[in-house]
Amino acid sequence: MKLVECVPNFSEGKDLEKIKTITKEIESTPHVTLLDVDPGESTNRTVVTFIGTPEGVKEAAFKAIKKASEVIDMRKHKGAHSRIGATDVCPFVPVSEVTMEDCIKLTHELSDRVAKELNIPVYLYEEAAQRPERKNLANIRVGEYEGLQEKLKDSEWAPDYGKPVYNAKAGATVIGAREFLIAYNINLNTRDRQLAQHIALNIREKGRAKRDKDGNIIRDEKGKAIKKPGKFKEVKAVGWYIEDYGIAQISINFTNYKISPPHLVFDKTIKEAEKIGLRVTGSELVGLIPKEAMLMAGKYYLTKQGKSPGIPEEELIKTAAISLGLNDVAPFDPQKKIIEYQFKEVENSLIDLNLREFTNELSMDSPAPGGGSTAALCGALSAALSSMVSNLTVGKKGYEGVQKKIKKIAEAAQTLKGNFLRDVDLDTMAFNKVIEAFKMPKKTDDQKEERIFAIEEAYKEATLVPFGVIKKSVKALKLAKEVAQKGNKNSISDAGVSGLTALAAAEGAYYNVKINLPDIQDKEFRLKIKQQASLLRKKAIKLGSELKEIVERELRK
């Protein structure tokens, strides 16, 4: 599921009606979920956080920027926080299945539209910056709104998008792309802030001032303290005392958790604390965290324990939470703390039903869910079985030579299982779009044209979902074959059933592709999918036959 976070900051923190007017634009945008609205009266600034599909987030961001330019007058704005416009800054953040390059592309598309349609000059910052000096937001904000008119006269500060024309009411906007910021605190068994600060200086990227043998700070020729870098890049940290908890904490901001993930910093902090007689009692997550960061932590700790990391994501997250002590000072609820869980791709998801509810729904007289969703479910069952056989092989005597490979298979199978489960819903959603397209009005020529286009696109989507299931089924068959060859022989029958369900998924999905193709008018699309689906089906049948031979040979022993 492709998800992007957007965190625009608006130069209004006092008038709640104006703020609500802006956030309504976000809430009314399809495929977007508003997560948080944080107004600050003294700063006269509101930080808004929302998440959604790339296109949905881009549209919501534009609508919010437009509305802010209408209801906020920068000529009357005063506040403690530095700012340059009605929408001061608007960063895109990759969350799931989206790259930084994808977010940079969104930045350019939004900036172009804001400049052209709203006549607001736009500067690009962070990863989207076109010049090194513009990477840092503080550099762009120098002079703030009050100095913007003069700044725009300087060719060195011409906007990246739009003309260098002063927009007195809206000011300028800074749009960019950055990594997800994780706010995280590590708890210590002390009330001494200085001890927490000592550890913070050791772990943060900025480090601490160098000192000579007498303890004096070493300075350069300009009198500036020379720094000794800390242990982790993209980490900002400070020690403080929290009266509500009665303990000192190391407060950390991870500006790129992919470079320095929380679990590595947590483990290192434990060692640093031990050096000065302290103990880490746990940690606290402030705000939200990407699911990937939690999965990375879960896999890390399971690997350290010699266990297989190829287990369901819920168990990986539970392992991460326990290992990091995330329940130390407050309850950790994954449903509230993991950002992906805040966005529902599907309302009334089929995979949230229990087995009886799902089969009851399947047996009703409605055409969806039907064979396509069932085929995807068969694929999920296959992947689950392959993971099970792999996990039953981990740590077993006689299988020492395949441990590394079998753990990778378990992980790959879990990922595949999740993708198949998503297809259970996507197949039904795609079929429902076909039905909705046929219900569109067709009184005028324009309506007829729109309806024909919608039907064509809906049928294509209804074809591509099962086509994707065929592709995944081939992968599932390969995994089933591998676990049959390398896995625990006591579970050979389970590997066989994994192969059978994967083959059923492939065949079932192939039928669903075939039934939709005749209704698609695009001949090139139809021919391409038909040929590729046929080739994939042949691969699936061949793999299924090879797997059957392996299983039956083992069962004859």
What does the alpha-carbon distance between residue 255 and residue 236 come to, in Å, rounded to a whole number?
8
Chain-centroid distance, C-alpha 105: 17
Measured over the CA atoms of residue 275, residue 279, residue 282 and residue 286, the dihedral's sign is: negative
Residue whose pair of structure tokens reads 């977010």 in the numeric block: 103
Report the phi/psi class of residue 261: left, alpha or beta, with left for phi > 0 and alpha for psi in -120 to 50.
beta
Residue whose pair of structure tokens reads 């391409």 in the numeric block: 528
Q: Which among 313, 195, 298 has a CA at the least distance from the CA of 247?
A: 195
Catalytic choice (160, 423, 427, 494): 427
| DSSP H or E run through 123 | strand 122-126
Amino acid 87 reads T
What does the alpha-carbon distance between residue 137 and residue 145 come to, in Å, rounded to a whole number?
14
Catalytic choice (31, 77, 81, 108): 81
Note whether 466 and 429 are within 8 A (CB): no
Residue whose pair of structure tokens reads 């479910």 in the numeric block: 377
User: 187 forms bridges with which residues in the sheet?
Assistant: 249, 282
Count CB neighbours of 438 within 10 A: 12
Residues in the chain: 557
Note whether 278 and 188 are within 8 A (CB): yes
Measured over the CA atoms of residue 519, residue 373, residue 389 and residue 320, the dihedral's sign is: positive
Residue whose pair of structure tokens reads 């592309």 in the numeric block: 105
3-class SS shares of the chain: helix, strand, coil, % to 5 = 55, 15, 30
In angstroms, the Cα distances linking 336 to 26, 212, 285, 288, 325 are 20, 48, 11, 8, 17
Note whether 68 and 87 are within 8 A (CB): yes
Residue 31: active-site member: no
What does the alpha-carbon distance between residue 56 and residue 26 come to, in Å, rounded to a whole number?
9
Q: Which among 532, 364, 517 has a CA at the least distance from the CA of 373?
A: 364
What does the alpha-carbon distance between residue 356 and residue 359 come to, in Å, rounded to a whole number?
5
DSSP track, 298-352:
HHHHHHHTT--S-S-HHHHHHHHHHHTTTTSSS---HHHHBGGGG--SSTT-GGG
What does the alpha-carbon distance between residue 545 and residue 503 come to, in Å, rounded to a whole number?
10
Q: Which among 65, 117, 56, 54 has a CA at the least distance from the CA of 89?
A: 65
Active site residues: 81, 427
